[in-house]
Amino acid sequence: MEEIDLLLLFDAVLGFTLVWLAWQTLSSLDLFRAVVLFIAFGLLMALAWVRLDAPDVALAEATIGAGLTGALLLSALAQLSARQKHESETSLFLRLTLGVLMFFLLIGLGYIVFSLPPQALGLSVEVAKNIELSAVANPVTAVLINYRSYDTLLELGVLLLALLAVWSLGSASTRKSAFVNPVLDLLTRILVPVFILVSGYLLWVGAFAPGGAFQAGAVLAAAGVLLFLNDWHLESKYTGFALRSVLVIGLVMFIAIGFGFVFLDRVFLEYPPELAGGFILLIEAAASLSIGIILAALFLGRDPSVKSDSCSDIDTGVHK
Amino acid sequence: MIIDIVTGVLLLVGALFFLAGTLGLLRFPDVYTRLHALTKADNVGLGLIVIALMLQADSWFVVGKLLLIWILILLAGSGVAHLVASTAQKRGLKPWKK
Amino acid sequence: MTPVFLYALVGIVLFSIGLYGLILYKHLLRKILAINIMGSGVFLVMVALAARTEEGVPDAVPHAMVITGIVVAVSATALALALMLRVNEKTGQAVLPEDRET
Instruction: Give the per-residue pLDDT at A320.
Output: 36
pLDDT for B67 beyond 90: yes
Phi-psi region of A282 (alpha: psi -120 to 50; beta: other; left: phi over 0): alpha
Alpha carbon distance A195, C39 (integer Å): 28
Segments in chain C below pLDDT 70: 101-102
Structure confidence by residue, pLDDT tens digits, A110-124: 999 989 888 888 888
Task: Give A266 or B64, the one with higher predicted confidence.
Answer: B64
Task: Give B97 or A37, the one with higher predicted confidence.
Answer: A37
Q: How far does the CA of residue C99 sit from the closest CA of chain A (Å)?
A: 11
Instruction: Write the CA distances from A211 to A41, A314, C51, integer angstroms.
Output: 22, 41, 19
Inter-residue contact C46 to A107 (CB < 8 Å): no
Binning pLDDT at 50, 70 and 90, where does residue B7 land?
very high
Nearest one of A32, A38, A111 to A74, comparing CA atoms? A32
A6–chain B Cβ distance below 8 A for any pair: no
- Across the interface, whether the CB atoms of C60 and A34 are under 8 A apart is answered no
ipTM over the 0.90 cut-off: yes
Instruction: Write the CA distances from C11 to A49, C4, C39, C41, C59, integer angstroms.
Output: 12, 11, 9, 4, 18
Instruction: Give the per-residue pLDDT at A267.
Output: 81
Number of structural domains (chain B) is 1
Inter-residue contact A229 to A179 (CB < 8 Å): no
Q: Is residue B8 part of a domain?
A: yes
Report helix, strand and coil shares of chain A as percent, to nearest 5: 70, 0, 30
Inter-residue contact A36 to A24 (CB < 8 Å): no
Chain A neighbours (≥3 Cβ pairs under 8 A) are B, C
- Across the interface, whether the CB atoms of A183 and B83 are under 8 A apart is answered yes
**What's the number of CA atoms in the CB half-sphere (13 Å) around residue B70?**
19
Residue of chain A nearest B86, judged by CA positions: A181
- Across the interface, whether the CB atoms of B76 and A184 are under 8 A apart is answered no
A284–chain C Cβ distance below 8 A for any pair: no
Instruction: Give the per-residue pLDDT at A312.
Output: 44
With touching defined as 3+ CB pairs under 8 A, do chains B and C touch? no
Nearest one of C40, C61, B18, B91 to A69, comparing CA atoms? C40
Binning pLDDT at 50, 70 and 90, where does residue B65 land?
very high
Question: Smallest Cβ distance to A64: which of C14, C56, C74?
Answer: C74
Give the residue extent of every domain in chain C. 3-95
Q: Is residue B97 part of a domain?
A: no
- Across the interface, whether the CB atoms of C83 and A169 are under 8 A apart is answered yes
Per residue of chain A (320 residues), what is the pLDDT tens digit? Answer: 556 688 899 999 999 999 999 999 999 888 999 999 999 999 999 999 999 999 999 999 999 999 999 999 999 998 886 655 555 667 888 889 999 999 999 999 999 998 988 888 888 888 888 888 888 889 999 899 888 889 999 999 999 999 999 999 876 556 666 677 889 999 999 999 999 999 999 999 998 899 999 999 999 999 999 999 888 888 888 888 888 999 999 999 999 988 888 888 778 888 888 888 888 899 999 999 999 999 999 998 888 777 655 444 444 444 33
Instruction: Give the per-residue pLDDT at A3.
Output: 60
Q: Provide the 8-state DSSP code for C54.
A: S
Chain A residue numbers with beta carbons less than 8 Å from the beta carbon of C72 are: 155, 158-159
Binding-face residues of A in 120-179 toward B, CB within 8 A: none
Assign domain C3-95 to a CATH class: mainly alpha
Look up the domain containing B41 and give its range.
2-90
Alpha carbon distance A54, A48 (integer Å): 9
Backbone φ and ψ for A179, nearest 5 degrees, come out as -65, 130
* B83, B87, B89, B91: best to mutate for the A interface, most A CBs within 10 A: B83
Instruction: Give the per-residue pLDDT at A177.
Output: 62
Chain B residue numbers with beta carbons less than 8 Å from the beta carbon of A187 are: 75-76, 79
Give the residue extent of every domain in chain A. 1-80, 135-303
Alpha helices in chain C (DSSP H): 3-24, 28-50, 60-91
Chain B residue numbers with beta carbons less than 8 Å from the beta carbon of A181 are: 82-83, 86
* A103, A124, A125, A151: best to mutate for the C interface, most C CBs within 10 A: A124
Chain C residue numbers with beta carbons less than 8 Å from the beta carbon of A87 are: 25-27, 30
B76–chain A Cβ distance below 8 A for any pair: yes
Nearest one of A220, A222, A213, A208 to A250, comparing CA atoms? A213
Question: Exposed e or buried b for every residue in B26-65, given b needs 16+ CB within 10 A?
Answer: eebeebbebbebbbbbbbbbbbbbbbbbbeeeeeeeebee
Size of interface A-C (CB pairs under 8 A): 261
Alpha carbon distance A202, A190 (integer Å): 19
Instruction: Give the per-residue pLDDT at A315.
Output: 42
